Amino acid sequence: MSTDTVMAYDEALAKFEPVLGLETHIELGTASKMFCGCATTFGAQPNTQVCPVCLAFPGSLPVANRAAIEGIIKIGLALNCTIVEWCRFARKNYFYPDMPKNYQISQYDEPICINGHLDVEVEGRTYRIEIERVHMEEDTGKSLHVGGATGRIQGADYSLVDYNRAGIPLVEIVTKPVEGTDVLAPEVAKAYATELRELVRALGVSDVRMEEGSMRCDVNVSLMPRGAKEWGTRTETKNVNSLRSVERAVRSEIERQAAILDEGGRIHQETRHFSEATGTTTSGRSKEEAQDYRYFPEPDLVPMAPSREWVEEIRASLPELPAARRSRVQGEWGLSDLELRDVVNAGALDLIEETIAAGADAGSARKWWMNELSRHATVQGVELAELPITVEQVARIQALVVSGDLNDKLARQVFEGVLAGEGTPDEVVAARGLKVVSDDGALSAIIDQVIADNADTADKIRSGKVAAAGALVGAVMKASRGQADAARARELILEKLS
Amino acid sequence: MLIKKSAVELGQLIAAGEVSAVEVTQAHLDRIAVVDDRVHAFLHVGSGSALEQAAAVDARRAAGETLGPLAGVPIAHKDVFSTHDMPTTAASRILQGWRPPFDATVTARLRAAGLVILGKTNMDEFAMGSSTENSAYGPTHNPWDLTRIPGGSSGGSSAAVASYEAPLATGTDTGGSIRQPAAVTGLVGMKPTYGGSSRYGLIAFASSLDTPGPFARNVLDAALLHEAFSGHDVMDSTSIDAPVPSVVAAARQADVAGLRVGVVREFSGDGYQPGVLARFHEATELLESLGAKVVEVSCPAFDYALPAYYLIAPSEASSNLARFDAMRYGLRVGDDGSRSAEEVMALTRAEGFGAEVKRRIILGTYALSSGYYDAYYGKAQQVRTLISRDFDAAFEQVDVLVSPTTPTTAFPIGERADNPMAMYLADLCTIPSNMAGNAAISVPCGLADEDGLPVGLQIMAPVLADDRVYRVGAAVEKALEDRWGGPLLGKAPQL
């Protein structure tokens, strides 16, 4: 495989201005497919979620799924789009073995949602990403190309097709060209994809898992010389399967295109594939030899005409959206911008909010998730939400701290126990015998021993140097293996040495 | 003779216990055995399953169940309707041996109504044609003259009913494929309002035009069959959610007193056989004598219906037929392990489709291509709107429109096979109602003097006024049969 010449990113940006465009596909999490009653469970045995309609048997006809249309209207409204009063499905015609009908039911010049926007924040600056359209379509099946070096159809020995995915409702969200991002183009692209994912997740219409393909981004990039007015030729990069890849794909395309343009070459309008392994893109099929899709209105379906009442009903039912929610919790929890960003990036917002709902105070809830539990998640290489601990359990541990039954150090041991599968917080406390020693009798004996062992320090305290008590408290804690109530120990020490 | 009886009579005889459904079915199977090697109306005859279904009807009757008026009456289905227990090929090589895992809504409803399926009838491949010569399995012959075509695309159905192999048959009408074969074989053939009968399980030719409908030897039989399979179907989004017009009652009413009848000016003149026009004029005079008010009406956009149809129907077909790609069912050619999926698709389609189907796929692909869409498909859709407006304006003045069903009587097999344009003209008068989606029927109105072959009268009514064409058709039928001393089909030669 040939390696493209690239120009260093900073140099590329000194010479050229990038223009971005993002096309995002989101599989809706409806119980059934877009045009038939088949189930949509991810990961089922191949070709077990199929029927005459999604296999395109002769004579079968599509019937539109109302839940999917409701889902796309939710997305459109959340993206500040206009929901049109009347629109149609269209057929996009091309032959491919994983597309049963050899046309995809999609929308062409009459999308259901138009003219919206989504604001994203990068390095303290807000970028408004204009949304051109949001339209409804169906997913294709999945091809597995066996043999050959690349896992792509070229050079494969044979291919297998799984039609389970064929006909799953798919929403395509297309931005208008995004200008003015300058050096932050990769970050803005990633921020957009991130915000869109949060938004759709908040709406509850998709699980938006990029790794499972329920959210897929195509990234369009073009460059124009600094000061130029006319946009350059764009490429469309597919196979971008993570948020980080969105950023890397933009950066890599900028570096590649800049090198070509700088040498007086021209950019081919083409589809490119992003490789996670190399972080670069490689050429796919050229748009110039691309298909003529022969779009025409789908005659098997009646037009979609969502009533205004229905649209308003859906609007009224929208949950709190991520931007509004972030500004609310920032105020409620008293967070700085930076702290808020950390919480969001850690994926801890829901967890903290639910922990608070389960009885913890905001500060403690955030502290446990962002420090102790984040550390465990990093060590185990999982998302916070995947840790084997519930928000109720976190709140319970904090309640034990508040009641004085645990101190922070003991609490950390309880977290460890719960995460290790030793049971509920109370079971871990009981099994490990973790209990703050605040019983004066037991504590008093330890203190007496500590005073005897540290006569010099004790003398200092007797002579009025109260600050030295800290050293004795530390010794008491050590002697009690952390179970002593530090505040009570300090009181007793001062009492005894006054 | 059981096979000469109407469906209504057969239903009554079975209900009264005077004859069993098995006997009726056997009589028709016997007739098929005698004549079908000459007529070739059937692609598949299901003797065993037909007798089983008939026996089941007899058993239900014996158990005291009250069944519908057509229970136990045999029927032949055009091979474009999916049947789970019989092959369904649309007369194409590409679907040779295809047995669908499900029934079309039409076949399912008729099964539920107790009709006995004799078999599947021949047709032009994928319903593309007007002569049934485009079948991959050989042509069907007109029972009136075996050297002539039985019409198309539902020519197997028309020939089966006209040769007494079946009292009833289903067909589909995309540009005239029920009315034209009915006209040239002396039958009643009805194209219901688009959306009035479900397309689910019907192998698509042109989705926005395809309409299932009945063939019968008289108007009342057609109405009974129409009522039995019609009505809203959730499996077909384009099916109309409205009550089925009361066509049976209308067929029994059979009067035209005070009715305003419009003669379409555009459907006469050059290209119309004199004998066809003569019978048509007599029919309009007859309507007047029966108390109708007959006026001439102009529908200028109808002149563009044929060219617009030959853009819209092939465009939709080019997309509908894309699914025949050798991947999941049907014929597969060249899959020897050395070829790519694309190569196998191409070889299969080259071998599996006939010449007319390929012609229309190419025509449609061209008409939808980027840069041509507006000039062809887009313009044709505008013409379609104008045709609907002409109908609307005409139906302001009159209750029904009438015309000859076809410009000529049945032509000899082979005569137009190499001249697609001449073939396409057979649908000149029938296409406007497909474009507008309104109801239209063809009823026999006599024999042309030149050739002694049947002529059809087309009666058109507004969308969802299907009952109106039955009412007029039945009145014409009654008056003409009085004049002829029986059904027109009685004049057909013995097979």
**Domains (range + CATH), chain A:** 9-311 (no CATH), 320-432 (no CATH), 440-496 (1.10.10)
The answer to whether B322 contacts A93, with C-beta atoms less than 8 Å apart, is: yes
Residue B368 distance to chain A (closest CA, Å)? 5
Question: Which residues span the domain enclosing B451?
Answer: 2-300+385-491
Nearest chain A Cα to B206, which residue? A299
Of A58, A63, A294, the CB nearest to B368: A294
Assess whether pLDDT exceeds 80 at residue A155. no
Contacting residues of A for B235, CB less than 8 Å apart: 61, 63
Quickly tell me which residue has 């009492």 as its tokens.
A495
ipTM of the complex: 0.96
| CB burial of residue A292 (10 Å; 0-12, 13-18, 19+) | middle
- CB-count exposure of residue B206 (10 Å: 0-12, 13-18, 19+): buried
Do residue B365 and residue A294 have CB atoms under 8 angstroms apart?
Answer: yes
Which residues from A are below 8 Å from B324, CB to CB? 58
C-alpha A174/C-alpha B112 separation (Å) is: 49
Structure token digits, residue A470: 């800290």
Q: pLDDT above 90 covers what percent of chain A? A: 72
A407 token code pair: 């101190």
Question: How many domains, chain B?
Answer: 1
Nearest CA in chain A to B315: A296
Give B490's DSSP letter.
G
Q: Do A302 and B237 touch (CB under 8 A)?
A: yes
Q: Is A464 exposed, middle or buried (0-12, 13-18, 19+ CB in 10 A)?
A: exposed
Q: How far apart are CA B299 and CA A357, in angstroms?
A: 72
Q: What is the DSSP string of B345-391?
A: HHHHHHHHS-HHHHHHHHHHHHHHSTTTTIIIIIHHHHHHHHHHHHH
How confident is the model at residue A72, as a pLDDT?
Answer: 98
Q: Residue A437's pLDDT is what?
A: 72
What separation in angstroms does the CA of B470 have from each of B190, B227, B253, B268, B410? 9, 12, 9, 24, 24
Question: Does residue B351 belong to any structural domain of this protein?
Answer: no
Rounded to a whole number of angstroms, the distance from the CA of A181 to the nearest CA of chain B is: 34
Does any domain span residue B213? yes
**For residue A82, what pLDDT is reported?**
98
Shortest CB distance from B315 goes to which of A56, A161, A296?
A: A296
From chain B, the residues in CB contact with A101 under 8 A are: 322-323
Q: Is the peptide bond before B20 cis (omega within 30 degrees of 0)?
A: no
| Catalytic annotation present for B153 | yes
Domain-located, residue B324: no
Are the beta carbons of A345 and A243 closer than 8 angstroms? no
> Which two tokens mark B320?
């509908």
A450-470 per-position pLDDT tens digit: 998 988 888 888 888 888 888
Give the minimum alpha-carbon distance from A60 to chain B in angstroms, rounded to a whole number: 5
Q: B370 and A302: CB-CB below 8 Å? A: no
Specify whether B47 is catalytic. no
CA–CA dist A92, A160 (Å, integer): 23
pLDDT of B85:
96
What does the pLDDT look like over A381-421, one tens digit per residue? Answer: 888 999 999 999 999 999 999 988 898 889 999 999 999 99
The C-alpha atoms of residue B332 and residue B351 are separated, in whole angstroms, by 9
Interface of B with A (CB under 8 A): 81-82, 88, 90, 95, 98, 100-102, 104, 199-204, 206-208, 234-238, 315-316, 318-319, 322-325, 327-329, 341-342, 345, 365, 368-370, 373, 377
Active site residue B358: no
Distance, in angstroms, between B365 CA and closest chain A CA?
A: 7
pLDDT tier, A239 (very low <50, low <70, confident <90, very high otherwise)? confident
When CB atoms are compared, the residue of A102, A296, A301 closest to B377 is A296
* Residue A288: pLDDT over 80: no
Measured from the Cβ of residue B288, the count of other Cβ atoms closer than 10 Å reads 13
Cβ pair B131, B360 in contact under 8 A = no
Chain B residues lying within 8 Å of A52, measured CB to CB = 100-102
Using CA atoms, how far residue A487 sits from A430, A443, A474, A483, B236, in Å, is 23, 11, 11, 12, 76
CB contact under 8 A, A101 and B82: no
Interface probe for B, chosen from A57, A88, A108, A160 (most Cβ of B below 10 Å), is A57
- Residue of B68, B36, B28, B72 lying closest to B52 (CA atoms): B72
In chain B, the N- to C-terminal Cα span, in Å, equals: 15
Handedness of CA A201, A207, A211, A215 (dihedral sign): negative
Shortest distance between the Cα of A91 and any Cα of chain B, in A, equals 8
Q: Give chain A positions within 8 Å (CB) of B322.
A: 93, 95, 101-103
Which is the catalytic residue, given B131, B135, B157, B177? B177
B88, B328, B365 member nearest A55 (Cβ): B328
- Residue A3 confidence (pLDDT) above 80: no
Cβ within 8 Å, pair A60-B368: no
d(CA B33, CA A238): 62
* Residues in Cβ contact with B438 at an 8 Å cutoff, skipping those fewer than 6 apart: B193, B194, B391, B460, B461, B462, B463, B465
**Cβ atoms of residues A477 and A484 within 8 Å:** yes
Average confidence (pLDDT) per 10 residues, chain B, 495 residues: 97 97 98 98 98 98 95 98 98 97 98 98 98 98 98 98 98 98 98 98 98 98 98 98 97 96 92 96 98 97 96 98 96 92 95 98 96 94 98 98 97 92 91 98 98 98 98 98 96 95
Residue B142 has a pLDDT of 98
Indicate the residue of B102, B328, B368 with minimum beta-carbon distance to A296: B368
| Whole-number Å distance between alpha carbons of B493 and B151 | 18
- CA–CA separation, B388 vs A337, rounded Å? 63
Flag if A161 and B327 touch (Cβ within 8 Å): yes
CB contact under 8 A, A301 and B237: yes
Contacts of A296 in chain B (CB under 8 A): 315-316, 319, 368, 373, 377
In a domain, B348, yes or no: no
State whether B102 and A300 contact (CB < 8 Å).
no
Q: Is B473 a domain residue?
A: yes
Per-residue confidence (pLDDT) for residue A329, from 0 to 100: 93
- 8 Å CB contact of A58 and B368: no
Q: Cβ B82–A161 below 8 Å, yes or no?
A: no
> What are the backbone dihedrals phi and psi of residue B191, each rounded to the nearest 5 degrees, phi first?
-105, 105
| Per-residue pLDDT tens over the stretch A54-74 | 999 999 999 999 999 999 999
User: Is B100 close to A52, i.e. CB distance below 8 A?
Assistant: yes
- Minimal-distance CA residue of chain A relative to B365: A294
CATH of the domain at B201: 3.90.1300.10
Q: Which of A173, A170, A191 is nearest to A78 (CA)?
A: A173
Instruction: Report the side by side order of strands in the sheet with A113-122.
Output: A82-83, A113-122, A125-138, A169-175, A16-27, A215-225, A235-240, A270-274, A281-286
> Inter-chain contact B102–A52, Cβ cutoff 8 Å?
yes
Q: How far is A366 from chain B (nearest CA, A)?
A: 52
- Total length of chain A: 498
Q: Do A299 and B208 touch (CB under 8 A)?
A: yes
- Is the residue at B335 inside a domain? no
pLDDT at site A1: 41
Query: Are the Cβ atoms of A95 and B316 closer than 8 angstroms?
Result: no
Q: Residue B88: its chain A contacts at CB < 8 A?
A: 58-59
Q: Is the residue at B262 inside a domain?
A: yes
Q: Which residue of A has its CA nearest to B89?
A: A58
CB–CB of A305/A86 below 8 Å?
yes
pLDDT for residue A438: 67
Q: How many CA atoms lie within 13 A of B339 on its CB side?
A: 14
Q: Among all chains, which residue has been given the structure tokens 């015309």?
A: B403
Q: What's the average model confidence in pLDDT over A170-191?
A: 97
CA B424 to chain centre: 16
Q: Tell me the CA distances in angstroms from A57 to A193, A352, A422, B135, B495, one per residue in order.
A: 37, 50, 54, 21, 39
Question: Which amino acid does the sequence have at A466?
Answer: V
Rounded-to-integer distance, Cα A451 and Cα B159, Å: 116
Q: Is B327 helix (H, G, I), strand (E, B) or coil?
A: coil
Q: Is residue B340 part of a domain?
A: no
From B6, B153, B158, B268, active-site residue: B153
